[in-house]
Structure 1
Amino acid sequence: MPNPNLLRRAARRLLAASSALVLGGATALVLAPAASAEPATPAGYPAGASATRYAGLAFDTCTAPALSTIQAWNASPYRALGVYISGVNRTCAQPQLTAAWVTSVTRLKWRLLPIHKGLQPPCGARPGDAKISTTAGSARTQGTRAAAEAVAAAKALGMRPGSALYNDIEHYTQTDAACRTGVLTYLSAWTKELHRLGYVSGVYMNLNLGAKQLADVYTSASYARPDALWIARYDGADTLKGWSGVADAKWPVHQRAKQYRGSHDETYGGVTVNIDNDRLDAPVATVALTYSVTSSTALKARSGPSTAHPVVTTHPPGSSLSVVCQTPGLKVSTTSVWDKLTDGTYVSDHYVSTPSATGYSAPLPRCVLPYQVTATGGLTERSGPGTSHAAKGTSPNGALAWVVCQKSGSKVGTTKIWDRFDNGRYVSDHYVATPSATTWSKPLPRC
């Protein structure tokens, strides 16, 4: 009897391949009200949250591979993989997918792309799949529940707030208006609930049979916009630009992934796995790692990455610390790196057993929180926190503002707060979907 999982994957590959054959190949600061609803909904990240990005080659496979396989595949060009963490239509067993596996894979410097395979379009996917409702109220409830289910699964696996979770929506009929509205309503509720729970919203769709419809409502006030888009198009090209039907200005800043080749076998380190090929420049899962206190006295954990910030608590010598990410701060001895812990406090990396005594330590990511840009005409990035500083670039509407910290500057609209990006540039917080439209937004530290 044919393996139903292989049949499912083969059908999906065929649809993406057929789509490939069908398809062809500096703005001033805009004054507009800060968004508090669709399309850019604020993300309420809790203390200890941080996002993680990955840019490079990746693969996904139906069942998460054994740790020994990942070790063997260190010889491959891949350093990220998609894993199915939840969903009523997740068909493959996941005996390897545990919190211990997630931590071990992360320590090997791999990144994880969490996938929720939940309800599917009522006019597409497989006949036996559980489907999204065509009634708006029911579709919203389903999307909210899907987000809660995915977050619960992510937390159980050790994937921290700030992680991106991707909802797998398979192909569907493009001419069915009720079906289209149901899918978009479901995904809007998915995004809003993920943001409320402190996670980043991702969506996986076939480029021709779904993604274009999502792109068509990119600026619609009727739907919350997801933070990242992962498309399937099996044309063998791993480019993240030039997608037919999805303009390059949409999801433009570390917000894209592409599955460009379907099911096939590859072998590295003597181990063969059946995979899909992916190219990513997108948010992935954040996983905290444990290190120990190396100081001979109690280590002070502070509210920000500097000795000028208040002491919140202390950690005894030799005790374990759960580190989420690293960020620059006041220099202590040989390093300016500070470690953010899962409770949202910061400790100097000089007193922590991370690999480097002077700089950043892989696989820990840099501390950053993404929020969507709300300025309809794009947002000017400046060299400092004020309109008098030189313009350095522009963030398009809907781009992710990858914010490291906030600083007071010249007033724009309702606020004097400016957001510093991880590239060192500043934008007015008035045009970024942080929780507050007038003042500081926790848990972002002050610069």
Structure 2
Amino acid sequence: MLLAVTLGTVVSGSTSAAVAVVPRPGEPAPGTMSGDLTALGAEIFDGEAFDTCVAPPLDAMRDWLRSPYRAVGVYIGGRGRACKEQPHLTPGWVREVNAMGWRLLPLYVGSQSPCVRLENKRGVVMDSARPWDQGVEEARDAVASARGLGMTAGSPVYLDMEAYDHTDESCAATTLAFTRAFTREVREQGYIPGYYSSSTSGIAHLENARLAGVDDLPDVLWYARWQVPPTLHDEPVLAPYAWQPHRRIHQHAGDVYETHGGRRMHIDRNLVHAPVAIIR
């Protein structure tokens, strides 16, 4: 539990440049997923964030200005999204919350791995016969959702892939094809592809893919490892130089309740040094 922390800070970059990883002299090769996203249009948040299933009403976001958080994960779409009804998540809400000083982490819960572990996600698994095409289609939907909320090019879109059995070779290959297609299309649309999963499943899988030299991997990793101290540098399944700098989010606690400003909410806790939505 980490509550006594400083509030987050934001660094802005130009939004006109294409989002790509271009190593500078002396930097690791692109396969390490390193490089300065700020110089390529990203707006970086460094601090604490929470995510919750339904975007809270505006008065709750005002109340939570008394919390240590200054960023919030919002579920912008996807056929696997648990809370499909999002009455507060509108372009107006996005603008007002951003004006309050909040920064947004857009999550898209698309088709899930064929070997997903959660029973309630097994009805929305990807088509094993066409994972690449489906990844492209859902990436376009994700970008359209972000754009419709006023999140412009240079913003991240975090694909939420719940825990799956990455040791199942056939399932892993299907899941990776979908993820790579989603990533490539999001990047081609001018947005920053991110990826959320459990450290011991999806994140370990992508690290193995990176080590194998696979291309079209997400620029940012959001890894869930609960009941450990929050860290952006000591995640056991990631090499310390990979997905650096400002390319990591650690979800270090989940399914907890907190009260700030007299308002109680059910949240997950995250430590962030990563891109957030650019609002226009």
Q: In which range does the TM-score fall when normalised by the shorter chain?
A: 0.7 to 0.9
Among 169, 172, 184, the alignment partner of 1:192 is: 184
Q: Residues 39 and 225 of structure 1 are in contact (CA less than 8 Å); yes or no, is this contact kept in structure 2?
A: no
Which of these two proteins has the greater Rg computed from alpha carbons?
1
Structure 1 residues 133 and 262, CA, compared in 2 at 3 Å: closer, same or farther?
same
Residue in 1 that maps onto 2:124: 130
Show the 5 A alignment for 1:375-394: none
Q: Residues 32 and 243 of structure 2 are in contact (CA less than 8 Å); yes or no, is this contact kept in structure 1?
A: no
Residue in 1 that maps onto 2:68: 77
Deviations 1:243-264 (Å, cap 9, x if unpaired)?
1111111101000001000111
Unaligned segments of structure 1, at least 5 residues? 1-27, 41-48, 289-447
Q: Residues 85 and 154 of structure 1 are in contact (CA less than 8 Å); yes or no, is this contact kept in structure 2?
A: yes
Residue in 1 that maps onto 2:52: 61
Residue in 1 that maps onto 2:222: 230
Distance between the aligned counterparts of 2:197 and 2:224, measured in 1? 6
Q: Shift in Å at residue 57 of structure 1?
A: 0.3
Distance between the aligned counterparts of 1:175 and 1:287, measured in 2? 39
Q: Shift in Å at residue 132 of structure 1?
A: 1.9
* 2:127 partner letter: S
Among 108, 112, 119, the alignment partner of 2:111 is: 119
Higher helix share: 2
> What is the RMSD of the two structures over their aligned residues, measured on CA atoms?
2.1
Among 244, 256, 260, the alignment partner of 1:252 is: 244
Distance between the aligned counterparts of 2:235 and 2:134, measured in 1? 29
Higher strand share: 1
Distance between the aligned counterparts of 2:71 and 2:245, measured in 1? 19
Distance between the aligned counterparts of 2:171 and 2:49, measured in 1? 31
Distance between the aligned counterparts of 1:276 and 1:173, measured in 2? 23
Deviations 1:2-57 (Å, cap 9, x if unpaired)?
xxxxxxxxxxxxxxxxxxxxxxxxxx94699x98xx897xxxxxxxx942110100
TM-score by length of 2: 0.84
Q: Shift in Å at residue 223 of structure 1?
A: 3.3
* 1:111 partner letter: R
Residue identity (%): 38
Residue in 2 that maps onto 1:52: 43
Residue in 1 that maps onto 2:77: 86
Distance between the aligned counterparts of 1:31 and 1:279, measured in 2? 25
Runs of 4 or more, structure 1, over 6 Å off, are: none
Distance between the aligned counterparts of 2:80 and 2:187, measured in 1? 23
Alignment length (residue pairs): 248
Structure 1 residues 31 and 114, CA, compared in 2 at 3 Å: closer, same or farther?
closer
Q: Of the two structures, which has the highest relative contact order with CA contacts closer than 8 Å and spacing of 6 or more?
A: 2
Distance between the aligned counterparts of 1:67 and 1:275, measured in 2? 16
Distance between the aligned counterparts of 2:26 and 2:32, measured in 1? 17
Matched residue of 1:179: which SS?
A: helix
Structure 1 residues 283 and 97, CA, compared in 2 at 3 Å: closer, same or farther?
same
Mean CA deviation greater in 67-76 or 218-227: 218-227
Q: Shift in Å at residue 238 of structure 1?
A: 1.1
Residue in 1 that maps onto 2:10: none
Distance between the aligned counterparts of 2:229 and 2:32, measured in 1? 30
Q: Residues 227 and 252 of structure 2 are in contact (CA less than 8 Å); yes or no, is this contact kept in structure 1?
A: yes
Deviations 1:290-309 (Å, cap 9, x if unpaired)?
xxxxxxxxxxxxxxxxxxxx
Q: Shift in Å at residue 112 of structure 1?
A: 0.3
* 1:68 partner letter: D
Unaligned segments of structure 2, at least 5 residues? 1-23, 34-39
Distance between the aligned counterparts of 2:261 and 2:74, measured in 1? 21
Matched residue of 1:208: which SS?
A: helix
Distance between the aligned counterparts of 2:277 and 2:117, measured in 1? 26
Q: 2:99 matched to 1:107?
A: yes
Show the 5 A alignment for 1:268-279: 268-279=260-271
Q: Shift in Å at residue 74 of structure 1?
A: 0.5
Q: Shift in Å at residue 236 of structure 1?
A: 3.6
Q: Shift in Å at residue 129 of structure 1?
A: 2.8
Q: Residues 118 and 163 of structure 2 are in contact (CA less than 8 Å); yes or no, is this contact kept in structure 1?
A: no
Structure 1 residues 145 and 39, CA, compared in 2 at 3 Å: closer, same or farther?
farther
Q: Residues 134 and 181 of structure 1 are in contact (CA less than 8 Å); yes or no, is this contact kept in structure 2?
A: no
Structure 1 residues 31 and 274, CA, compared in 2 at 3 Å: closer, same or farther?
closer
Q: Residues 121 and 169 of structure 1 are in contact (CA less than 8 Å); yes or no, is this contact kept in structure 2?
A: yes
* 1:251 partner letter: W
Structure 1 residues 70 and 185, CA, compared in 2 at 3 Å: closer, same or farther?
same
